[in-house]
Amino acid sequence: MPIKRRQAPFRRLAGSRYLMLAAVATMCARHGGAEEEWPQFRGPHAQGHASGTHLPITWSESENIAWKVAVDGRGWSSPVIRSNQIWMTAATDEGRSLRAVCRDTDTGRLKHNVEIFRLEDPGSIHSKNSHASPTPVLQDDRVYVHFGAHGTACLSSSGQILWRTEPWPYNHRHGPAGSPVLQDDLLIFSCDGTDVQFVVALDKRTGQVCWKTDREGPMAYSTPLVIRAAGVLQLVSPGGDQIVSYDPLTGDVIWRFRYTGYSVVPRPVFGHGLIYFSSGFNDAVLYAIRAGGRGDVTDTHLAWERSRGAPHTPSPLLVGGELYIVSDNGVATCLDAVHGSEHWRKRIGGNFSSSPVLADGHIYLLNEEGVMTVITPGTEYQELAKNRLEGRTLASPAVVGRAMFLRSETHLYRIQRDPAAASHGSRPIPSLVNARR
């Protein structure tokens, strides 16, 4: 059996997905303006939820595209957005030049293109990776960019480099991948190499190391998640063979849960008192564990686990009482988030690296071949549309207001129901009336 349950004392909430959608809207309103930005990997609350409205569910190269601009260099960092600026990273000159790139949200016009690091030898990367895959983080008028072992930097919103670090002493082997997170005055990220593994926190104002905590295990490429569970602030960081909870202000270990896995990529999600995460390669297992405890909680805090359809790369998506996952080979599954039982499973086609997004009451699933499948959240599979754009697509989309921003290997798109409203004098790509909305 693919599902194993252990000590799961929670009850399913009636109409839970609608309660969750309402809660997300309320949370965004309380944070004031959070819905108008996408400042980090997986959005304002790091869970893949957007509060955008009136988004299209159908598009193509000639329909519902406000603008499309070519991007220089290669990179799989996701777009991040704040104050009419879109920031991404890119690598040019065969990975020797690592850059931060800023474009205007309204027109796609290039505003800044700054070289952060110049390398003699960037090293090898995995065929699905790039030399610029970690997603930047935005806060106030600062842009934080990270390139794995090559180093980390902070820029102003005007494109001035404020600080940058030396290379980090570890071998990331397949290239950089995991993204940084911000908590209070700290910029935190995981460095899990083939040789050494550690988690480090920098003073976001200076780039100086505030704490560094070593750990053991195989290489990993995941992005940590900051949560508050049972009144305790925690930085939850998946690594090789274990997921560890740290005090984000000190780096002290709170608890750890052990498993078998390496090259862990998906970012965890949190809800119902449970942390949902995948164990990585070779045989991925999706785990749901309770967020409390101290020390080694492997034998005490597992709620359920599932091997069938578990992702190696895309992060999970939690919507109310349902957990949605998509495997790297294109099988989407909807699970009961509390108990782990399966509602539905559907092969939607293609290969997947991008993480799913909830926006405007729909779930958007982007495969590597440029096809976005749009479904309705629920315990029965309901597909609304499939949309294709040109080129390879491994970066996760960003949603702000009424627009979705999608990065392909060669272009950046602004997808919108009324393209002319976003053009502000630029010449939009001709669009057709969206018959579905």
Q: Give the CA dihedral 397, 95, 102, 25, nearest 10 degrees.
A: 20
Q: What tokens does 353 get?
A: 């690296």
Name the phi and psi angles at 27, rounded to 5.
-60, -45
Q: Please answer whether residues 413 and 103 qualify as being in contact, where contact means their C-beta atoms are separated by less than 8 angstroms.
A: no
Task: Record the pTM.
Answer: 0.88
Tell me what pLDDT residue 154 has.
Answer: 98
- State the maximum Cα–Cα separation within the chain, in Å, rounded to a whole number: 61
DSSP structure string for 302-337: EEEEE-TT--SSSPPEEETTEEEEE-TTSEEEEEET
Task: Residue count of the chain, please give it.
Answer: 437
Task: Break the chain into its structural domains and give their ranges.
Answer: 3-423
In CATH, what is the architecture of 3-423?
7 Propeller (2.130)
Tell me what pLDDT residue 129 has.
Answer: 79
Tell me what pLDDT residue 124 has.
Answer: 85
Sign of the dihedral through C-alpha 411, 414, 418, 419: negative
Q: What tokens does 420 get?
A: 């002319």
Tell me what pLDDT residue 46 has.
Answer: 97
Q: What tokens does 379 get?
A: 């315990």
Alpha carbon separation from 348 to 54, 157, 331, 333, 367 (Å, rounded)? 24, 39, 6, 10, 9
3-state secondary structure of 23: helix
Q: What tokens does 235 get?
A: 């930085």
Q: What angle do CA 253, 232, 355 make, to 5 degrees?
A: 80
DSSP structure string for 201-257: EEETTT--EEEEEEE-SS-B----EEEEETTEEEEEEEETTEEEEE-TTT--EEEEE
Per-residue pLDDT of the chain (437 residues; tens, 9 = 90+): 344 333 333 333 334 443 444 344 434 433 334 457 999 999 999 999 998 889 999 999 999 999 999 998 989 999 999 999 999 999 999 999 999 999 999 999 999 999 999 999 988 888 887 999 999 999 999 999 999 999 999 999 999 999 999 999 999 888 898 999 999 999 999 999 999 999 999 999 999 999 999 999 999 999 999 999 989 999 999 999 999 999 999 999 999 999 999 999 999 999 999 999 999 999 999 999 999 899 999 999 999 999 999 999 999 999 999 999 999 999 999 999 999 999 999 999 999 999 999 999 999 999 999 999 999 999 999 999 999 999 999 999 999 999 999 999 999 999 999 776 554 433 333 332 232 32
Tell me what pLDDT residue 35 has.
Answer: 52
Pairing of strands 371-375, 403-407: unpaired
DSSP H/E element including 43: none
DSSP structure string for 333-371: EEEETTT--EEEEEE--S---SPPEEETTEEEEE-TTSE
Tell me what pLDDT residue 421 has.
Answer: 56
